[in-house]
Amino acid sequence: MKSKLLNGNEAAALAVKLARAQVVCAYPITPQTSLVESIAGMCARGDFPGEFVNVESEYSALAYTIGASYAGARAFTATSSQGLAYMHELLHWAAGARLPIVMVNASRALGAPWSLEPDQLDSLAQRDTGWLQFYCADVQEILDTIIFSFRLVEETGIPCMVVYDGFVLSHTHEVVELPGQEQADAFLPAPPGRTALRTDRPQNIQAVTDYRYVSRVLQRRHRDMLKVPALIQSLAQEYADIFGRNYPLVETYRWEGAKWEETEAVIVAVGSAAQTVKSALPSFSGQGDKMGLLRIRLFRPLPKKEIISLLAQPRIKKVVIIDRDLSAGTGGIFAQELRAVLQGSPFQGDIYELNLAGGVDLTPNLLHRGLAALDRGGDDDGSGIIWGVDLQ
């Protein structure tokens, strides 16, 4: 293992190479582009184990990836924002067909208007497509999560989306521990090879069928989804044994010397925003609240049991959920999901929303202002949401 200075997209490209992906098909879109360029470059130099195909749209990129995966190849694609929205129909199809595809989405706001900011609605709007979703907080985690996901999708037959904030992570360099090929090979078995499309007997695959069959297919998918958190935990241990890094389903954090067991207020954050919260937490230590951070890493399936056990404690009086997305008319999506999870649990505190829709950059200052607004009784507009940017 050696250390290297990499940005998120470069780390992702190297992870795909380490995973020995056999077919990579993509269409470039900002801020994912340099990932695709990295893979194209490695291919051109003969330094990549698979085929890279640059197609004419995101729609075809996922269709092509689906085809390759059907043929038994280890397949990968990557996109962002409008591109992911354009893939929508096929996201459902890939999940329904139980194809072990890994995809990267570099978060970026959806238009209109055009924006390049790291709003996360692009991937969150795909929460019901039946894909697994990880949200990464740093560049090392991007690399590790991609390698990890190839094993996970092949064990579950559920495709996986690895999400990271556009620019904030895709284009920011960090020192990364780059695993050796032998480590990746120790964790990932050889690709599964020819399975579905065998021509030795006639088959009519995904033919029209009736509600009974569809209902059973959906129930099986639901049941298999529910098994995923436990599987991830056991695979994470195996990953840690080989790579030395262990990623939980949800991460908890307090500053040095503070114990989670003494936490009275919790900030829930996702992706790179969680890093900001981490760095800002010590500055709250003198303000009375005993604050902690809970970072949601796995969003689909949402690890409900773990979240409840961490938050539904009598001492926890306040939960502040940071969303960098908005379901207009309802609120942040993580806030919705957390409210649903805590509904009916022993949690008895108050839930607040700090909303950074549009990709508002979370600075320690903004965090301070947001929390101060909550202490004053919350928002001014009656929406129950503290906004990252004032409307006026």
Residues contributing to the site for other proteins (CB under 8 A): 22-23, 25, 50-51, 53, 55-57, 59-61, 63-73, 75, 89-90, 93, 191, 193-194, 197-199, 202-210, 213
- Pairing relation of β-strands 75-79 and 291-296? unpaired
Question: Closest approach of Cβ 303 to other proteins, in Å?
Answer: 31
Q: What residues contact residue 275 under an 8 Å CB cut-off, 6+ apart?
A: 137, 138
Nearer CB in complex with other proteins: 60/233: 60
Residue found by looking up tokens 């805590």 in the block: 342
Question: Closest approach of Cβ 280 to other proteins, in Å?
Answer: 45
Question: Closest approach of Cβ 69 to other proteins, in Å?
Answer: 7
Q: In Å, what is the CA distance from 266 to each residue of 25, 137, 179, 256, 305?
A: 41, 18, 34, 16, 17
Nearer CB in complex with other proteins: 90/162: 90
Question: Closest approach of Cβ 169 to other proteins, in Å?
Answer: 28
H/E element, 217: helix 211-243
Nearer CB in complex with other proteins: 69/107: 69
Question: Closest approach of Cβ 209 to other proteins, in Å?
Answer: 4
Tell me the three state secondary structure of residue 224. Answer: helix
Nearer CB in complex with other proteins: 25/371: 25
Q: Report the alpha-carbon distance of residue 22 to residue 6 in Å, rounded.
A: 23
Residue type, 355: N
Q: In Å, what is the CA distance from 377 to each residue of 325, 352, 374?
A: 23, 10, 5
Between CA 38 and CA 43, with CA 153 as vertex, the angle to 5 degrees is 20
Check if the beta carbon of residue 246 is closer than 8 Å to that of residue 236: yes
Nearer CB in complex with other proteins: 71/231: 71
Question: Closest approach of Cβ 26 to other proteins, in Å?
Answer: 12
Nearer CB in complex with other proteins: 5/218: 218
Question: Closest approach of Cβ 20 to other proteins, in Å?
Answer: 11
Nearer CB in complex with other proteins: 203/345: 203
Distance, CA of 228 to chain centre: 15
